[in-house]
């Protein structure tokens, strides 16, 4: 069978180890954020003598999964050489009690100039990780796992997908370059699911192939074509159960399309392998954090 490892185990493209944040990607995002905020210089920071040192405390105002320390640190280090950031809570930890989670010491001007960009990145990534963790808890006890999508905030793809992992979720493809997802328009342009999958197979290089199915007939077509993953788009619950039974043992199953929090328990009850939700990264609420000089 095309979509099996030696020994008969299905390949699971989503169940891969979480990668540590790439330093290059972190620096690129931080530099873009700082350039956007600083422009030609921080006028307000010049109110403070250049030689003045400062100490600040980072206050978490609500329960959250803390995520984004590397981005937060990089903002200060880019503008304030010698700055020290001491974290009192580990990355990806769930913090139930609001309070001080980090201390920042160093040149006052640099801390003031980097503050907003650092907080913007941190509160966004904390928001993504916290929402992911909340929804993952709704799926606990079953086989179904939570996936993100490519519906991320522009420029924050790598960072938000890292935050999803921090919250206990899993990553779908990073972009258009690392996997093939055959959707409705691809099928129409190619003529059939079989033709689209056959062309994708010829690419080689170990790419996994997913087919989006809109009904049970397309599920069967995707399986016959040898898809690695079958996405079940906007399936009614009974059809979803039927689709999962057809797919089981032949491919990875993914429920997707207008899925809400209230639907998660019933969807999990079908035994589907994954459920993907764009809201993890596009409908997030930033976590309340503030930095105060002491």
Catalytic member of 233, 239, 242, 288: 233
Give the whole-angstrom CA distance, residue 150 versus residue 125.
16
Active site residue 53: no
Tokens found for residue 43: 């006028």
**Residues 212 and 233: beta-carbon distance below 8 Å:** yes
Name the active-site residue from 11, 55, 116, 150: 116
Residue 250 is among the residues annotated as catalytic for this protein: no
Sheet containing strand 229-233, edge to edge, reads: 145-147, 274-276, 252-256, 229-233, 209-213, 180-182
DSSP type of residue 85: E
Catalytic residue among 11, 55, 150, 183: 183
Catalytic residue among 42, 115, 131, 212: 212
CA 124 to chain centre: 11
Q: Is 116 a catalytic residue?
A: yes
- Nearest partner of 134 among 279, 290, 289, 288, judged by Cα: 279
Which of 94, 151, 246, 248 is labelled catalytic?
151
- 161 annotated active-site: no
157 assigned to active site: no
**DSSP codes, 113-153:** HHHHHHHHHHHHHHHHHHHHHHHHHHTTTSS-EEE--S-PP
Positions marked catalytic: 116, 151, 183, 212, 233
């Amino acid at each position: 069978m095309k979509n099996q490892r030696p020994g008969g185990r299905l390949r699971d493209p989503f169940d891969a180890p979480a990668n540590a944040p790439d330093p290059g990607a972190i620096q690129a995002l931080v530099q873009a954020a700082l350039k956007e905020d600083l422009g030609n210089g921080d006028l307000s920071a010049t109110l403070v003598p250049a030689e003045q040192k400062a100490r600040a405390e980072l206050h978490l105002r609500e329960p959250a999964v803390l995520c984004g320390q590397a981005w937060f640190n990089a903002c200060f280090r880019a503008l304030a050489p010698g700055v020290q950031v001491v974290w009192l809570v580990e990355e990806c930890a769930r913090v139930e009690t609001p309070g001080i989670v980090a201390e920042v010491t160093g040149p006052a001007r640099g801390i003031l100039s980097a503050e907003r960009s650092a907080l913007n990145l941190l509160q966004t990534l904390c928001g993504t990780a916290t929402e992911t963790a909340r929804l993952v808890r709704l799926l606990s006890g079953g086989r179904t796992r939570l996936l993100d999508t490519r519906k991320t905030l522009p420029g924050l793809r790598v960072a938000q997908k890292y935050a999803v992992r921090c919250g206990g979720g899993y990553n779908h493809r990073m972009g258009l370059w690392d996997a093939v997802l055959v959707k409705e328009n691809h099928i129409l342009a190619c003529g059939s699911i079989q033709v689209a999958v056959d062309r994708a197979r010829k690419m080689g290089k170990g790419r996994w192939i997913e087919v989006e199915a809109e009904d049970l007939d397309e599920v069967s077509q995707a399986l016959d074509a040898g898809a690695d993953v079958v996405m079940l788009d906007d399936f009614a619950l009974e059809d979803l159960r039927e689709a999962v039974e057809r797919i089981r043992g032949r491919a990875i199953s993914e429920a997707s399309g207008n899925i809400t929090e209230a639907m998660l328990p019933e969807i999990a009850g079908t035994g589907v392998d994954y459920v993907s939700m764009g809201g993890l990264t596009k409908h997030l609420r930033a976590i309340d954090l503030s930095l105060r000089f002491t």
